[in-house]
Amino acid sequence: MEKTESEKKQSSSVSDVGAWGMNIVSSVGIIMANKQLMSSSGFGFSFATTLTGFHFALTALVGMVSNATGLSASKHIPLWELLWFSIVANVSIAAMNFSLMLNSVGFYQISKLSMIPVVCVMEWILHSRHYSREVKASVMVVVVGVGICTVTDVKVNAKGFICACTAVFSTSLQQISIGSLQKKYSVGSFELLSKTAPIQALSLLIFGPFVDYFLSGKFITTYQMTYGAIFCILLSCALAVFCNISQYLCIGRFSATSFQVLGHMKTVCVLTLGWLLFDSEMTFKNISGMVVAVVGMVIYSWAVDLEKQRNAKSTPHGKNSMTEDEIKLLKEGIEHIDLKDVELGETTKV
């Protein structure tokens, strides 16, 4: 029995909520686990880039097992595209770490907030995407709200500014590329991730320790592992698998802009959990900023729905029936198809 249009729409909405829910829960969980692992009051594991290499190594392993067992299919994507994407993604990770080291926390937060307008501009340049006034206004509300609750001291220097600009540009380009590659090669989010994760894991595990040495002045080989640290690393890696999958899933379903805007719900959750679990200070400024940010996200969701409705009304309806000439051409095409080709097509259908 086929689903009706309303049932399909409801099912799609549920899966959309599931994708966002997975991303928010796993992202907040990984931040909490990493805070315990990396803070001086926790286990003092200060090797963030190498840890990201561990994350992608486990993600790659899950992808290989999934492909080997037939749970997911492996589609062809040119190697140069995968290498280019992995380089951009790894530059994003390294530049983010350098930006955090060289800049004040306030300027680091501002650079992260600037990703929203940068993604909007890049999508306009690369994909000729236009945004309604309502969407632009809601984006500004979110940026202002998150800025109020996260930005404190703002200090900047030349090296830090260059690293921040590199981080913003590469991260924005990476997130836009996720959606572009999925559409270009008709691959699912997990299929794309299983292709890029091994390359990122290998490169981060080779160069990550040197990046971390530059950042912290210590090699990972000098770190004294404990059972608690190992547990936090494994927990962080497990959460990273869900975080990576849900990121690709969300960007594939929506857009890089939506991922950036609604992704700031994670910032609100992290601040709230930090106050509840780690006795972090919660001021009126934090609370008012979070309220403004959440209002902005609600307005953004409404504005995107409104934009979709306008686009649907302005799009002319396609033909519901074929002409006699089209039917004749279709019949002639079917008659000339070799039976062997049909069988091959059926066996490779996903």
Residues 258 and 179 sit within 8 Å (Cβ to Cβ): no
For residue 5, being part of any structural domain is answered with no
What tokens were used for 125?
Answer: 């340049």
Tell me the per-residue pLDDT of 257-283, one tens digit each, with 9 for 90 and over. Answer: 777 776 667 777 777 777 776 666 777
pTM exceeding the 0.95 threshold for the entire prediction: no
* CA Rg value for the chain: 23
Confidence of residue 12 (pLDDT cuts 50, 70, 90): low
* 131 Cβ contact partners less than 8 Å away, ≥ 6 residues apart: 120, 124, 139, 257, 307
In this structure, of 134-143, 317-326, 339-348, the range with the lowest mean pLDDT score is: 339-348
For residue 168, being part of any structural domain is answered with yes
The Cα-based distances of 15 to 128, 253, 286 in angstroms read 28, 10, 32
Tell me the per-residue pLDDT of 148-190, one tens digit each, with 9 for 90 and over. Answer: 776 666 676 788 888 888 988 998 898 888 888 888 888 888 8
Alpha helices (runs of H) in the chain, residue ranges in sequence order: 5-38, 48-68, 79-102, 105-113, 115-127, 133-150, 158-185, 189-216, 227-253, 256-263, 265-277, 284-314, 324-335, 339-347
For residue 325, being part of any structural domain is answered with no
Q: What is the mean pLDDT of the chain?
A: 78
Domain range holding 210? Answer: 12-309
For residue 161, being part of any structural domain is answered with yes
For residue 322, being part of any structural domain is answered with no
Number of domains in the chain: 1
For residue 285, being part of any structural domain is answered with yes
